[in-house]
Protein backbone atom coordinates (compact mmCIF):
# COMPACT_ATOMS: atom_id res chain seq x y z
CA UNK A 1 0.00 0.00 0.00
CA UNK A 2 1.20 3.54 -0.59
CA UNK A 3 -0.34 6.98 -0.23
CA UNK A 4 -0.13 7.88 -3.93
CA UNK A 5 -2.18 4.81 -4.94
CA UNK A 6 -4.72 5.59 -2.23
CA UNK A 7 -5.08 9.21 -3.36
CA UNK A 8 -5.51 7.87 -6.88
CA UNK A 9 -8.14 5.42 -5.71
CA UNK A 10 -10.08 8.23 -4.03
CA UNK A 11 -9.75 10.33 -7.17
CA UNK A 12 -11.43 7.50 -9.12
CA UNK A 13 -14.26 7.74 -6.57
CA UNK A 14 -13.61 4.23 -5.29
CA UNK A 15 -14.35 3.40 -1.68
CA UNK A 16 -11.35 3.10 0.63
CA UNK A 17 -11.31 0.09 2.94
CA UNK A 18 -10.83 0.44 6.69
CA UNK A 19 -7.30 -0.98 6.35
CA UNK A 20 -6.47 1.64 3.72
CA UNK A 21 -7.81 4.48 5.86
CA UNK A 22 -5.89 3.11 8.84
CA UNK A 23 -2.73 2.99 6.73
CA UNK A 24 -3.17 6.70 5.94
CA UNK A 25 -3.85 7.80 9.52
CA UNK A 26 -1.17 5.63 11.16
CA UNK A 27 1.48 6.65 8.67
CA UNK A 28 0.58 10.33 8.89
CA UNK A 29 0.89 10.13 12.66
CA UNK A 30 4.28 8.40 12.52
CA UNK A 31 5.60 10.89 9.95
CA UNK A 32 5.94 8.48 7.00
CA UNK A 33 3.17 10.30 5.15
CA UNK A 34 4.18 13.95 4.84
CA UNK A 35 2.00 17.03 5.34
CA UNK A 36 1.89 17.74 1.60
CA UNK A 37 0.68 14.20 0.87
CA UNK A 38 -1.93 14.33 3.60
CA UNK A 39 -3.05 17.74 2.29
CA UNK A 40 -3.59 16.18 -1.14
CA UNK A 41 -5.65 13.41 0.44
CA UNK A 42 -7.71 15.83 2.57
CA UNK A 43 -8.36 18.00 -0.48
CA UNK A 44 -9.67 14.96 -2.36
CA UNK A 45 -11.96 14.18 0.55
CA UNK A 46 -13.11 17.79 0.71
CA UNK A 47 -13.97 17.77 -2.99
CA UNK A 48 -15.34 14.25 -3.41
CA UNK A 49 -16.59 13.42 0.08
CA UNK A 50 -16.49 10.07 1.87
CA UNK A 51 -19.16 7.40 1.97
CA UNK A 52 -21.02 6.85 5.23
CA UNK A 53 -19.07 3.61 5.72
CA UNK A 54 -15.74 5.36 5.12
CA UNK A 55 -16.71 8.11 7.61
CA UNK A 56 -17.69 5.57 10.27
CA UNK A 57 -14.42 3.70 9.71
CA UNK A 58 -12.35 6.89 9.76
CA UNK A 59 -14.00 7.93 13.03
CA UNK A 60 -13.17 4.57 14.60
CA UNK A 61 -9.54 4.77 13.47
CA UNK A 62 -9.22 8.33 14.81
CA UNK A 63 -10.90 7.31 18.09
CA UNK A 64 -8.29 4.57 18.61
CA UNK A 65 -5.37 6.90 17.81
CA UNK A 66 -5.30 8.12 21.43
CA UNK A 67 -6.54 7.48 24.94
CA UNK A 68 -10.20 6.53 25.43
CA UNK A 69 -11.54 7.66 28.78
CA UNK A 70 -13.54 5.46 31.08
CA UNK A 71 -14.61 7.25 34.24
CA UNK A 72 -16.20 4.15 35.67
CA UNK A 73 -19.39 6.18 36.12
CA UNK A 74 -22.53 4.73 34.56
CA UNK A 75 -24.66 6.65 32.14
CA UNK A 76 -22.55 9.79 31.75
CA UNK A 77 -23.96 12.57 29.60
CA UNK A 78 -22.08 14.98 27.38
CA UNK A 79 -23.08 17.98 25.33
CA UNK A 80 -21.22 19.55 22.45
CA UNK A 81 -21.74 22.79 20.58
CA UNK A 82 -20.23 23.34 17.16
CA UNK A 83 -19.58 26.90 18.34
CA UNK A 84 -21.20 30.26 17.93
CA UNK A 85 -21.33 33.82 19.20
CA UNK A 86 -22.73 34.45 22.67
CA UNK A 87 -23.01 30.70 23.24
CA UNK A 88 -22.98 30.28 27.01
CA UNK A 89 -25.34 27.29 26.87
CA UNK A 90 -23.01 24.80 28.57
CA UNK A 91 -22.59 27.05 31.62
CA UNK A 92 -26.35 26.92 32.17
CA UNK A 93 -26.98 23.36 31.04
CA UNK A 94 -24.30 21.53 33.01
CA UNK A 95 -25.53 22.53 36.50
CA UNK A 96 -29.16 22.48 35.36
CA UNK A 97 -29.15 18.82 34.35
CA UNK A 98 -26.80 17.91 37.22
CA UNK A 99 -29.47 19.29 39.59
CA UNK A 100 -31.71 16.52 38.17
CA UNK A 101 -29.12 13.81 38.88
CA UNK A 102 -27.80 13.63 35.34
CA UNK A 103 -24.03 13.07 35.55
CA UNK A 104 -21.97 15.50 33.49
CA UNK A 105 -18.22 15.01 32.97
CA UNK A 106 -17.26 17.46 30.30
CA UNK A 107 -14.18 18.72 28.57
CA UNK A 108 -14.46 22.05 26.79
CA UNK A 109 -12.25 24.22 24.67
CA UNK A 110 -10.96 27.78 24.56
CA UNK A 111 -12.21 30.35 22.09
CA UNK A 112 -10.54 30.81 18.74
CA UNK A 113 -11.50 33.14 15.91
CA UNK A 114 -14.86 34.85 16.32
CA UNK A 115 -16.32 32.19 18.62
CA UNK A 116 -15.82 32.06 22.37
CA UNK A 117 -14.85 29.05 24.46
CA UNK A 118 -16.45 27.76 27.65
CA UNK A 119 -13.10 27.40 29.43
CA UNK A 120 -12.22 31.09 28.94
CA UNK A 121 -15.69 32.10 30.08
CA UNK A 122 -15.47 30.02 33.26
CA UNK A 123 -12.02 31.43 34.02
CA UNK A 124 -13.64 34.86 34.30
CA UNK A 125 -14.94 33.57 37.66
CA UNK A 126 -12.03 34.42 39.96
CA UNK A 127 -10.15 31.26 41.05
CA UNK A 128 -12.13 28.84 38.84
CA UNK A 129 -9.83 25.89 38.21
CA UNK A 130 -10.13 24.45 34.70
CA UNK A 131 -7.66 21.61 35.05
CA UNK A 132 -7.46 18.76 37.53
CA UNK A 133 -6.27 15.17 37.69
CA UNK A 134 -8.44 12.39 36.33
CA UNK A 135 -9.07 11.17 39.88
CA UNK A 136 -10.15 14.60 41.10
CA UNK A 137 -12.38 14.92 38.05
CA UNK A 138 -14.04 11.53 38.68
CA UNK A 139 -14.48 12.27 42.39
CA UNK A 140 -16.14 15.59 41.69
CA UNK A 141 -18.59 14.02 39.22
CA UNK A 142 -19.33 11.28 41.77
CA UNK A 143 -19.86 13.80 44.57
CA UNK A 144 -21.79 16.65 42.96
CA UNK A 145 -22.72 15.28 39.52
CA UNK A 146 -20.82 17.82 37.44
CA UNK A 147 -17.24 18.65 36.50
CA UNK A 148 -15.91 20.63 33.57
CA UNK A 149 -12.29 21.04 32.56
CA UNK A 150 -10.15 21.90 29.53
CA UNK A 151 -8.89 19.13 27.29
CA UNK A 152 -7.08 16.44 29.27
CA UNK A 153 -5.41 13.18 28.43
CA UNK A 154 -4.14 12.34 25.00
CA UNK A 155 -7.43 11.81 23.29
CA UNK A 156 -7.67 11.39 19.51
CA UNK A 157 -4.08 12.22 18.62
CA UNK A 158 -4.94 11.94 14.93
CA UNK A 159 -7.44 14.79 15.19
CA UNK A 160 -4.91 17.13 16.79
CA UNK A 161 -2.51 16.69 13.88
CA UNK A 162 -5.09 16.50 11.09
CA UNK A 163 -7.17 19.43 12.37
CA UNK A 164 -4.10 21.68 12.41
CA UNK A 165 -3.42 20.72 8.80
CA UNK A 166 -7.06 21.19 7.77
CA UNK A 167 -6.97 24.64 9.30
CA UNK A 168 -4.21 25.77 6.92
CA UNK A 169 -5.31 23.86 3.81
CA UNK A 170 -8.89 25.08 3.49
CA UNK A 171 -10.38 21.68 4.33
CA UNK A 172 -12.10 22.54 7.61
CA UNK A 173 -15.55 22.64 6.00
CA UNK A 174 -15.67 19.04 4.73
CA UNK A 175 -18.76 17.37 6.24
CA UNK A 176 -17.28 13.85 6.70
CA UNK A 177 -14.08 15.35 8.16
CA UNK A 178 -16.07 17.49 10.61
CA UNK A 179 -18.25 14.51 11.57
CA UNK A 180 -15.29 12.21 12.21
CA UNK A 181 -13.37 14.92 14.07
CA UNK A 182 -16.21 15.82 16.44
CA UNK A 183 -17.48 12.30 16.95
CA UNK A 184 -14.08 10.70 17.55
CA UNK A 185 -13.55 13.19 20.40
CA UNK A 186 -17.04 12.69 21.81
CA UNK A 187 -16.63 8.89 21.74
CA UNK A 188 -13.21 9.15 23.39
CA UNK A 189 -14.67 11.20 26.25
CA UNK A 190 -16.57 8.19 27.51
CA UNK A 191 -20.19 9.46 27.74
CA UNK A 192 -23.14 7.16 27.04
CA UNK A 193 -25.50 10.00 26.12
CA UNK A 194 -24.47 12.69 23.66
CA UNK A 195 -26.39 15.81 22.66
CA UNK A 196 -24.94 18.00 19.92
CA UNK A 197 -26.02 21.59 19.43
CA UNK A 198 -25.29 22.11 15.75
CA UNK A 199 -25.31 25.82 15.03
CA UNK A 200 -26.34 27.09 11.61
CA UNK A 201 -25.85 30.63 10.37
CA UNK A 202 -23.44 33.47 9.80
CA UNK A 203 -21.67 32.95 13.11
CA UNK A 204 -21.40 29.17 12.77
CA UNK A 205 -19.24 26.46 11.24
CA UNK A 206 -22.04 25.48 8.86
CA UNK A 207 -24.30 28.06 7.29
CA UNK A 208 -26.71 26.15 5.17
CA UNK A 209 -29.49 23.86 6.31
CA UNK A 210 -28.87 21.09 3.82
CA UNK A 211 -25.24 20.68 4.91
CA UNK A 212 -26.23 20.93 8.56
CA UNK A 213 -28.72 18.08 8.12
CA UNK A 214 -26.15 15.97 6.32
CA UNK A 215 -23.66 16.56 9.14
CA UNK A 216 -26.27 15.87 11.82
CA UNK A 217 -27.38 12.61 10.17
CA UNK A 218 -23.79 11.44 9.88
CA UNK A 219 -22.97 12.22 13.52
CA UNK A 220 -26.14 10.49 14.71
CA UNK A 221 -25.31 7.44 12.59
CA UNK A 222 -21.75 7.33 14.00
CA UNK A 223 -23.09 7.67 17.56
CA UNK A 224 -25.62 4.89 17.12
CA UNK A 225 -23.08 2.61 15.44
CA UNK A 226 -21.03 3.06 18.60
CA UNK A 227 -23.97 2.20 20.82
CA UNK A 228 -24.58 5.72 22.14
CA UNK A 229 -27.81 7.58 22.76
CA UNK A 230 -27.43 10.63 20.57
CA UNK A 231 -29.43 13.62 19.36
CA UNK A 232 -28.38 16.49 17.18
CA UNK A 233 -30.26 19.75 17.63
CA UNK A 234 -29.96 22.23 14.75
CA UNK A 235 -30.13 25.79 16.08
CA UNK A 236 -30.00 29.27 14.58
CA UNK A 237 -26.72 31.19 14.80
CA UNK A 238 -27.50 34.06 12.42
CA UNK A 239 -27.78 36.41 15.39
CA UNK A 240 -25.86 35.99 18.67
CA UNK A 241 -27.45 33.81 21.34
CA UNK A 242 -28.85 35.90 24.19
CA UNK A 243 -27.60 39.48 24.54
CA UNK A 244 -24.11 39.19 26.02
CA UNK A 245 -20.98 38.46 23.95
CA UNK A 246 -17.64 38.22 25.74
CA UNK A 247 -16.50 36.18 28.73
CA UNK A 248 -17.51 37.49 32.17
CA UNK A 249 -20.58 39.16 30.62
CA UNK A 250 -21.68 35.78 29.30
CA UNK A 251 -21.20 34.12 32.68
CA UNK A 252 -23.40 36.80 34.26
CA UNK A 253 -26.07 36.17 31.63
CA UNK A 254 -25.80 32.42 32.25
CA UNK A 255 -26.36 33.08 35.97
CA UNK A 256 -29.47 35.16 35.19
CA UNK A 257 -30.73 32.29 33.05
CA UNK A 258 -30.13 29.77 35.85
CA UNK A 259 -32.22 32.04 38.06
CA UNK A 260 -35.06 32.10 35.51
CA UNK A 261 -34.34 35.67 34.46
CA UNK A 262 -32.36 35.03 31.27
CA UNK A 263 -33.03 35.97 27.65
CA UNK A 264 -35.92 34.10 26.06
CA UNK A 265 -33.88 32.43 23.29
CA UNK A 266 -31.19 31.11 25.64
CA UNK A 267 -33.79 29.97 28.18
CA UNK A 268 -35.78 28.08 25.53
CA UNK A 269 -32.63 26.48 24.19
CA UNK A 270 -31.41 25.22 27.57
CA UNK A 271 -34.87 23.89 28.38
CA UNK A 272 -34.96 21.91 25.13
CA UNK A 273 -31.36 20.64 25.28
CA UNK A 274 -31.67 19.97 29.01
CA UNK A 275 -34.86 17.97 28.47
CA UNK A 276 -33.26 15.83 25.75
CA UNK A 277 -30.21 15.17 27.95
CA UNK A 278 -32.36 14.38 30.97
CA UNK A 279 -34.75 12.13 29.07
CA UNK A 280 -31.81 10.13 27.67
CA UNK A 281 -29.97 9.85 30.96
CA UNK A 282 -32.94 9.10 33.22
CA UNK A 283 -34.88 7.16 30.58
CA UNK A 284 -37.99 9.28 30.97
CA UNK A 285 -40.15 10.93 28.31
CA UNK A 286 -39.10 14.28 26.96
CA UNK A 287 -42.39 15.82 28.14
CA UNK A 288 -41.69 14.75 31.73
CA UNK A 289 -38.09 15.92 31.38
CA UNK A 290 -39.21 19.38 30.18
CA UNK A 291 -41.33 19.80 33.31
CA UNK A 292 -38.43 18.75 35.54
CA UNK A 293 -35.98 21.06 33.81
CA UNK A 294 -38.33 24.07 34.06
CA UNK A 295 -39.08 23.27 37.69
CA UNK A 296 -35.39 23.26 38.63
CA UNK A 297 -34.81 26.62 36.97
CA UNK A 298 -37.73 28.23 38.73
CA UNK A 299 -37.31 26.60 42.18
CA UNK A 300 -33.64 27.67 42.41
CA UNK A 301 -32.14 24.14 42.41
CA UNK A 302 -30.27 24.72 39.14
CA UNK A 303 -28.64 27.88 40.50
CA UNK A 304 -27.88 26.09 43.77
CA UNK A 305 -26.07 23.38 41.80
CA UNK A 306 -24.18 26.05 39.84
CA UNK A 307 -22.90 27.53 43.13
CA UNK A 308 -21.90 24.08 44.35
CA UNK A 309 -20.06 23.40 41.08
CA UNK A 310 -18.20 26.74 41.05
CA UNK A 311 -17.16 26.20 44.68
CA UNK A 312 -15.96 22.65 43.94
CA UNK A 313 -13.66 24.10 41.26
CA UNK A 314 -12.43 26.86 43.63
CA UNK A 315 -14.27 29.70 41.90
CA UNK A 316 -15.55 32.76 43.76
CA UNK A 317 -19.02 33.45 42.46
CA UNK A 318 -18.97 36.94 43.99
CA UNK A 319 -15.89 37.85 42.03
CA UNK A 320 -16.72 38.10 38.34
CA UNK A 321 -15.17 41.25 36.97
CA UNK A 322 -16.47 43.34 34.09
CA UNK A 323 -14.61 46.23 32.43
CA UNK A 324 -15.36 49.64 33.97
CA UNK A 325 -15.43 51.70 30.75
CA UNK A 326 -18.74 51.86 28.96
CA UNK A 327 -19.76 53.18 25.62
CA UNK A 328 -23.35 53.19 24.46
CA UNK A 329 -24.26 53.03 20.78
CA UNK A 330 -27.71 54.09 19.59
CA UNK A 331 -29.64 53.56 16.39
CA UNK A 332 -29.59 56.07 13.55
CA UNK A 333 -32.51 54.30 11.92
CA UNK A 334 -36.08 53.39 12.64
CA UNK A 335 -37.69 50.04 11.82
CA UNK A 336 -37.65 46.36 12.64
CA UNK A 337 -34.27 44.75 13.15
CA UNK A 338 -33.82 42.35 10.24
CA UNK A 339 -30.42 41.00 11.11
CA UNK A 340 -27.72 41.24 13.79
CA UNK A 341 -24.73 39.66 12.11
CA UNK A 342 -23.35 37.10 14.59
CA UNK A 343 -20.06 36.68 12.75
CA UNK A 344 -19.37 40.43 12.75
CA UNK A 345 -20.41 40.86 16.40
CA UNK A 346 -18.05 37.99 17.27
CA UNK A 347 -15.23 39.72 15.41
CA UNK A 348 -15.92 43.02 17.20
CA UNK A 349 -15.86 41.30 20.59
CA UNK A 350 -12.52 39.83 19.57
CA UNK A 351 -11.31 43.29 18.56
CA UNK A 352 -12.14 44.51 22.06
CA UNK A 353 -9.86 41.76 23.34
CA UNK A 354 -12.47 39.13 24.29
CA UNK A 355 -11.21 36.59 21.75
CA UNK A 356 -8.11 35.25 20.03
CA UNK A 357 -6.75 35.47 16.52
CA UNK A 358 -4.09 32.89 17.25
CA UNK A 359 -4.08 30.35 20.01
CA UNK A 360 -1.34 32.01 22.10
CA UNK A 361 -3.10 35.42 22.28
CA UNK A 362 -3.91 36.64 25.78
CA UNK A 363 -7.52 37.71 26.11
CA UNK A 364 -9.30 40.22 28.32
CA UNK A 365 -12.02 38.33 30.17
CA UNK A 366 -13.74 41.52 31.37
CA UNK A 367 -14.64 43.18 28.06
CA UNK A 368 -17.61 42.50 25.80
CA UNK A 369 -20.70 43.64 23.98
CA UNK A 370 -24.15 43.67 25.54
CA UNK A 371 -26.82 43.90 22.88
CA UNK A 372 -30.10 45.51 23.82
CA UNK A 373 -32.37 43.91 21.20
CA UNK A 374 -33.06 40.84 19.13
CA UNK A 375 -34.04 40.39 15.49
CA UNK A 376 -37.71 41.37 14.98
CA UNK A 377 -37.68 44.15 17.65
CA UNK A 378 -38.96 47.57 16.61
CA UNK A 379 -36.40 50.35 17.03
CA UNK A 380 -36.70 54.14 16.96
CA UNK A 381 -33.87 56.55 16.17
CA UNK A 382 -31.83 57.10 19.33
CA UNK A 383 -32.77 53.73 20.93
CA UNK A 384 -29.81 51.93 22.49
CA UNK A 385 -28.52 49.07 20.34
CA UNK A 386 -25.58 47.96 22.46
CA UNK A 387 -23.38 48.75 25.43
CA UNK A 388 -19.68 48.16 24.94
CA UNK A 389 -17.56 47.27 27.97
CA UNK A 390 -13.94 48.01 27.16
CA UNK A 391 -10.40 48.55 28.46
CA UNK A 392 -7.53 49.48 26.13
CA UNK A 393 -9.08 48.44 22.83
CA UNK A 394 -12.20 50.08 21.44
CA UNK A 395 -14.56 49.69 18.51
CA UNK A 396 -16.24 52.48 16.57
CA UNK A 397 -19.92 53.32 16.37
CA UNK A 398 -19.77 52.69 12.63
CA UNK A 399 -18.38 49.19 13.16
CA UNK A 400 -21.13 48.29 15.60
CA UNK A 401 -23.94 49.80 13.51
CA UNK A 402 -22.75 47.93 10.42
CA UNK A 403 -23.72 44.64 12.16
CA UNK A 404 -27.39 45.66 12.07
CA UNK A 405 -29.86 45.81 9.20
CA UNK A 406 -33.40 47.19 9.45
CA UNK A 407 -36.63 46.86 7.55
CA UNK A 408 -39.89 48.80 7.56
CA UNK A 409 -41.86 45.54 7.26
CA UNK A 410 -42.78 43.73 10.44
CA UNK A 411 -40.86 40.47 10.51
CA UNK A 412 -41.22 37.21 12.38
CA UNK A 413 -38.67 36.40 15.07
CA UNK A 414 -36.40 33.69 13.62
CA UNK A 415 -36.98 30.13 14.78
CA UNK A 416 -34.23 29.18 17.23
CA UNK A 417 -34.61 25.39 17.11
CA UNK A 418 -34.69 24.45 13.45
CA UNK A 419 -34.71 20.66 13.60
CA UNK A 420 -33.84 17.72 15.86
CA UNK A 421 -32.26 14.61 14.41
CA UNK A 422 -32.12 11.48 16.57
N1 LIG B 1 -14.99 21.15 15.52
C2 LIG B 1 -14.24 20.05 15.56
O3 LIG B 1 -13.95 19.54 16.64
N4 LIG B 1 -13.82 19.50 14.42
C5 LIG B 1 -14.11 20.02 13.22
O6 LIG B 1 -13.71 19.46 12.22
C7 LIG B 1 -14.88 21.19 13.18
C8 LIG B 1 -15.31 21.73 14.35
CATH of the domain at 267: 3.40.1030.10
Q: Comparing C-alpha atoms, which of 70, 57, 59, 55 is closest to residue 105?
A: 70
Asked if residue 188 and residue 112 are part of one domain, the reply reads yes
Give the binding-site residues of ligand 1, using a 6 Å CB cut-off.
Answer: 82, 177-178, 181-182, 205
pTM for the whole structure: 0.95
Q: Catalytic pick from 106, 114, 138, 166?
A: 166
Phi/psi at 162 (5° precision): -70, -40
Those residues whose C-beta lies under 8 Å from the C-beta of residue 318, and which sit 6 or more positions away, are none
* pLDDT for res 142: 93
One of 80, 272, 301, 356 is an active-site residue; which one? 80
Q: What is the pLDDT of residue 114?
A: 80
| Ligand 1 centre distance from Cα of residue 131 (Å) | 22
Verify that 140 and 241 share a domain, yes or no.
Answer: yes
Active-site hit among 65, 108, 181, 189? 181
Q: Are residues 43 and 165 in the same domain?
A: no
Query: pLDDT (tens digit, 9 = 90+) per residue, 200-251?
Result: 998 888 989 999 999 999 999 999 999 999 999 999 999 999 999 999 999 9
Ligand 1 centroid vs 118 CA: distance in angstroms? 15
Look up 126 and say whether it is catalytic. no
Residues 306 and 384 in one domain: no
Question: Rounded to an integer, what distance in angstroms lies between the CA atom of residue 253 and that of residue 236?
Answer: 19
Same domain assignment for residues 164 and 93: yes
* Active-site residue (options: 159, 197, 238, 364): 159
229 and 332 housed in the same domain: no
Residues 222 and 362 in one domain: no
Measured distance CA(9)–CA(11) in Å, rounded: 5
Known active-site residue 80: yes
Instruction: Decide if 64 is catalytic.
Output: no
Domain end call among 312, 346, 380: 312
Ligand 1 atom at shortest distance from the alpha carbon of 166: 6
Assess whether 306 and 330 both reside in one domain.
no
Last residue of a domain, one of 312, 336, 366: 312
In total, how many domains does the chain have? 3
Residue 413 is assigned to a structural domain of this protein: no
Could you list the residue range(s) of the whole structural domain that residue 10 is in?
Answer: 3-48
272 and 396, same domain (yes or no): no
d(CA 350, ligand 1 centre) in Å: 20
Q: Where are the beta strands (DSSP E) in 310-362?
A: 325-330, 335-340
Q: Are 293 and 388 in the same domain?
A: no
Instruction: Assess contact for 144 and 308: CB atoms under 8 A.
Output: yes
Q: Identify the domain boundary among 312, 347, 377.
A: 312
Q: Are 207 and 200 a contacting pair, CB within 8 Å?
A: yes
Classify residue 59: in a domain, yes or no. no
What is the Å distance from ligand 1's center to 135 Cα?
A: 28
Ligand 1: nearest atom to the Cα of 178: 6
- As a whole number of angstroms, the distance between CA 78 and CA 273 comes to 11
Q: Does residue 220 sit within a domain?
A: yes
To test ligand 1's pocket by mutation, which of 172, 204, 206 has the most ligand atoms within 8 angstroms of CB?
Answer: 172
What pLDDT sits at residue 358? 80
Q: Starting at the earlier edge strand, list the strands of the sheet with 417-421.
A: 146-149, 104-107, 77-81, 193-200, 229-236, 417-421
In angstroms, the Cα distances linking 121 to 107, 212, 320, 329, 392 are 14, 26, 10, 24, 20
Residue 274 CB-half CA count within 13 A: 31
CATH number where 384 lies: 3.90.1170.30
Asked if residue 402 and residue 305 are part of one domain, the reply reads: no
Whether residue 336 lies inside any domain: the answer is: yes
Is 166 in the active site? yes
Q: Which residues of the chain have pLDDT under 70?
A: none
Q: How far is it, in rounded angstroms, from Cα 100 to Cα 59?
A: 32
The strands making up 368-371's β-sheet, listed across from edge to edge, are: 244-246, 368-371, 384-390, 325-330
CB under 8 Å to 193, separation ≥6 — which residues? 75, 76, 77, 78, 228, 229, 230, 277, 280, 281
pLDDT at 48: 96
Q: Is residue 415 part of a domain?
A: no
Residue 150 DSSP label? S
Per DSSP bridges, beta strands 325-330 and 193-200 are: unpaired
For residue 64, tell me if it sits in a domain: no
Q: Is residue 66 part of a domain?
A: no
CA 373 to ligand 1 centroid distance, Å: 30
Residue having the nearest C-alpha atom to atom 5 of ligand 1 = 178
40 shares its domain with 85? no
Residue 174 bears catalytic tag: no
Amino acid sequence: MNILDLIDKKEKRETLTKEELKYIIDNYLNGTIKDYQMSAFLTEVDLLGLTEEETINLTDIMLHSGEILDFGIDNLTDKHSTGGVGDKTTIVLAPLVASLNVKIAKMSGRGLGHTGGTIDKLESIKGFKTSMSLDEFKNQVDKIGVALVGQMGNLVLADKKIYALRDVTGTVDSIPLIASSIMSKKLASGAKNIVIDLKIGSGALVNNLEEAKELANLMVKIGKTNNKNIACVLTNMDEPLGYAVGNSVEVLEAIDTLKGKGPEDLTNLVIKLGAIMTSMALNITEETAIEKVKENIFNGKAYQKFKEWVKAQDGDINNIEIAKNKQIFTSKEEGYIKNINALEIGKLARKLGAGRLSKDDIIDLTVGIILKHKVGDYIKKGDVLATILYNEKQITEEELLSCFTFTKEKIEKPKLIIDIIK
